[in-house]
Amino acid sequence: MSRRALLVAAALLVLSAQACGVPDEHAPRPIEPSLVIPNPSQKAPGNSAGNSVGAVVERLYLVRDDQLVAVERRVASTSDVAALLADLAAGPTDAERAAGLTSALTGTDLIAGVRLVAGTAEVTFRPQAGGRTDDILAIGQIVCTLDARTDVDTVRFLQDGQVLKVPGADGALTDRPLTVADYHTLITDR
């Protein structure tokens, strides 16, 4: 091969490496890490199982000053929707409580179960004394937490096998499937 052919081949190789399909960006953007390797010399914070250092981010919605706040916990592996709701129902960790976070679900046994059906998380409620399902923040916590998962498109509530009307952020009762967008006015980032 001639020297000229080698130079052309080298130039084409450099140009093809530069055009690898990653577009240029004009400003930096945050990237969620897909894997976190914990430092073995650091002890996991807190005394709750939800506080352990892990490779997977679990997003839950808790309450501060009558607003929903997204919190991220690192867990060892992706949990199913039932385990995620159990983590939510367990309430805030010690560190989250110290940061002023609470839960509208603490002390309730409202949730009887959950299953995922074709992208809809169907949350079954236990019958409650007086039949109240008017806690907007509790419903918002459940909907926003479940909708944060990539495999959940909507959330629906059931009681005794029947679709249950629950309040949206404005307090109006609805039996349609809900998403985080239905509670966006209650979400804060502080």
Q: Averaged in consecutive runs of 10 residues, what is the pLDDT profile of the chain (190 residues)?
A: 58 48 49 35 36 77 95 86 92 95 87 94 81 76 95 95 94 95 91
What's the longest Cα–Cα distance across the chain? 90
Which residues, other chains included, contact 66 with Cβ-Cβ below 8 Å and sequence gap of 6+? 137, 186
Q: Please state the pTM of the whole predicted model.
A: 0.70
- Give 62's strand partners: 69
Q: Which amino acid is at 102?
A: T
Report the pLDDT value the prediction gives residue 65, as an integer from 0 to 100: 93
Tokens 């945050």, located at residue = 30
